[in-house]
Amino acid sequence: MLPYPFAEYNECRLCPRNCGVDRTTGPTGYCRSGDQPLVASVCLHQGEEPVISGPAGICNVFFAHCNLQCVYCQNFQISRVKTENAFWITNQSQVIEQIIGLLAQGAKAVGFVTPTHFIPHVRSIVNELRRRGLFPVTVYNTNGYERIESLKSLEGLIDVYLPDFKYIDGKTASSFSAASDYPEVVGHALTEMYRQKGSNLIISEEGLAMNGMLIRHLVLPGFGSESIRILEWIAANLSNRLHVSIMSQYYPASCIAEGHPLKRRLHEDEYQLVLAALENLGFENGYIQELESEKHYRPDFSKAHPFG
Ligand code: SF4
């Protein structure tokens, strides 16, 4: 029996939603998560950026529910706070055993996906793996809506930060994620990650990211100019030597209503403007998705192997 090191759930202020609810008595906060993990899948994933997946694939732990609730969420099958599924893992020991099984199959990295509302469990899982003599590369794959204090609690436990930078306009953030403070919050969060990691992403000889940070940005249809402002912000406030991943995989998920401005795919011309800005700003490290790649990145969390 593991100790219960999760006092933060007693009055949860893990993320900027700052709910202050007691999660030990039930899922009452914005993320509708209690004090036991909600894990939709622990699986080997080859589809991340090459340095994140590595040659063997990354063991991804997909937490269910989310503190952001974007209207267009590409993983809406598991992120929606009203969703429950009898197949989800709600026991930390079981999560750890599945991770260990995938590490035994050759995975060298463990990714925590949408982990913000379960940060105490993330810390506990990494500590337990280390206690058992296992030191995979740990990847923190987040939407960027993070509190500085929570990120500080991960220092020394997370090797690679993989944050999104979704919006730089508060109106967009309010419309699509009910988080008008997202631009300010993500700016502070990225600055804290940068303080911890700097601009250098250390990559092993076999091509696996070992330490550092890589910022992801999903270009939304109709919002290319906001994407460009995001790149400008990174170059001006952090560094254009950082690794960035520009993603074109957006697709209008079935949760998007007909007539919504996001009910279409990205056009080639608007994507090319973003890529031109990337070059003009001097970014040289990172990844650019091909526009047609959106076909290949759709997980189906109703299946045992969501990316199969
Ligand atoms: S983690 Fe959940 S309960 Fe805690 S502050 Fe964020 S949204 Fe609220």
Report the chain's mean pLDDT, rounded to a whole number. 93
Percent of the chain surpassing pLDDT 70: 93
- Nearest protein CA to atom 2 of ligand 1, as residue: 31
Nearest alpha carbon, ligand 1 atom 4: 12
Over residues 83-102, the mean pLDDT reads 94
What pLDDT score was predicted for residue 81? 84
User: Nearest C-alpha to atom 3 of ligand 1 is from which residue?
Assistant: 29
> Could you identify the atom of ligand 1 that is nearest to the CA of residue 9?
4
Q: How far is the CA of 20 from the centre of ligand 1 (A)?
A: 8
Confirm or reject: Cβ of 210 under 6 Å from ligand 1. Answer: no
CA atoms within 13 A on the CB side of 251: 15
What's at 1, amino acid-wise?
M
pLDDT of residue 301: 58
- C-beta of 29 in contact with ligand 1 (< 6 A): yes
Mean pLDDT of 47-64: 94
- pLDDT class of 1 with cuts at 50, 70, 90: very low
Closest CA to 2 of 85, 114, 96: 96
User: Given the CA of residue 117, which atom of ligand 1 is nearest to it?
Assistant: 1
Q: Ligand 1 in contact with 12 (CB < 6 A)?
A: yes
How would residue 4 be classed by pLDDT, with cut points 50, 70 and 90?
Answer: low
Task: Note the pLDDT tens digit of each residue in 227-236.
Answer: 999 999 999 9
Average pLDDT over residues 57-61: 97
105 ligand 1 Cβ < 6 A: no
Contact 66 CB / ligand 1 (< 6 Å): no
Q: State residue 232's pLDDT score.
A: 98
Closest by Cα among 48, 99, 40 to 65: 40
Its pTM stands at: 0.94
Per-residue pLDDT, averaged over 32-51, amounts to: 94
Query: Is residue 296 pLDDT above 60, yes or no?
Result: no
Average pLDDT of 288-300?
Answer: 67
Q: Stretch 126-152: mean pLDDT, rounded?
A: 98
Question: What residues have CB less than 8 Å from 275, skipping those under 6 apart?
Answer: 246, 288
